[in-house]
Structure 1
């Protein structure tokens, strides 16, 4: 992105931040590498240094860069290795990487099971479900936005429990389910939509990895089905045998 490409429709600092993020994603700035100085960035984009500082602060908040006093700003080794196995737990994976996991309830609704959801959860069509929308982050950096459906009969007040415990594993434990496993995982790629871009702090048009899954109890009974959208620039999926 050059000065000519900047549009008045979006704040200048955001455009500079998005341009640098794209350069990082494209490999023009490598993990561990040093970014150009503020003056050079300002000249490249035709903005002042205050705008550059705001852009770099936003990139730091996204977990993409780190500032070292007296040395400059460096690209972080940003992708989190995210193992996919029959026992996949977001909090455990993030903790294992030395980062702090966090779950945040965005919204929750009660709805009737469609044919597809009823089939996945082995319920009757029209059975009451909870749909829980949640944002998951590592060290404050948004990693994924997920939609989870589960039975409102088997898991009454599940949204309230998730709001308090901020973990689906802890929600299931609250209802006496100490362990569960992944029955199926389907991964596709897409472009982030406006709602997810805002929550994940991604520029418009950035890629997301869409993970659709079904989790079951030890006896094979379906517990929940989910559709999570991961910021592709922040994770790499690793297929591991159990």
Structure 2
């Protein structure tokens, strides 16, 4: 079994320090020589780890001054009303979504079960990227029953917001009826989109949203960059479970 490179272990350790609040936004990290002593490595290895963190948007270097924390993980509440724009804007950050693909295809068995439609039924699929202050924090895939929402793809092309598009199609309210959370490692494609290294920790959530009468209208999968998002569970009687 391959071993984790030392520089990547340092990146994970320092990222955890930031996530745990040991370093706040704007704090200066210890100089390279002290970090090298802490981890028992040379300064080149420390520099490689800090460069990776800078590429991920976690730190930034000031010439002649040192390396500073650029930001902390975004709290992302998981509850009955999961709304990306509201979650991010509430923290004073600027939310945005970038569509990667929009298509209509046949539902797979798991998607059909979640949406309570027949396997092979047409579904609309929205693949995209969620950003906060221009930094990617999550990849997502949303699947909708095409028969009951025939105009949804056009609405999504216009707004890229699921909430707005559903409202334009006559669905004015929906709530989360189930969420599952699973720890994963980023694939090469996921890492490319999220601007992280392949094999970095990510959090995958799967969820089902339904109308007030209990009709499922969205089956969603989201892959969060593990060092940029802290998932929090709100006490609103939503169903949340660990994935397998």
Counting matched residue pairs gives 222
Give 1:40 shift. 9.1
Matches of 2:139 and 2:220, distance apart in 1: 10
Partner in structure 2 of residue 229 of structure 1: 223
Partner in structure 1 of residue 203 of structure 2: 209
1:86 aligns with 2:86: no
- Residues 163-199 of structure 1 deviation map (CA, whole Å, 9 limit, x = unaligned): 3312111111111212110010011111011111000
Aligned positions of 1:153-172 closer than 5 A: 153-172=147-166
Give 1:20 shift. 6.5
CA root-mean-square deviation: 3.0
- Residues 75-107 of structure 1 deviation map (CA, whole Å, 9 limit, x = unaligned): 244111111110111110000000001111101
Matches of 1:152 and 1:144, distance apart in 2: 25
Structure 1 stretches lacking a partner, 5+ long: 7-15
TM-score by length of 1: 0.79
Aligned counterpart for 1:95 among listed residues 89, 101, 122: 89
Partner in structure 1 of residue 12 of structure 2: 22
Secondary structure at the residue paired with 2:96? strand
C-alpha contact 2:142 2:220 (8 A) present in aligned 1: yes
Matches of 1:126 and 1:195, distance apart in 2: 27
Structure 2 stretches lacking a partner, 5+ long: 36-41, 237-244
1:44 aligns with 2:36: no
C-alpha contact 1:61 1:141 (8 A) present in aligned 2: no
Partner in structure 2 of residue 31 of structure 1: 23
Aligned counterpart for 1:185 among listed residues 161, 173, 179: 179
Partner in structure 2 of residue 117 of structure 1: 111
Aligned counterpart for 1:197 among listed residues 188, 191, 194: 191
Bigger shift: residues 189-198 or 108-117: 108-117
Give 1:152 shift. 1.8
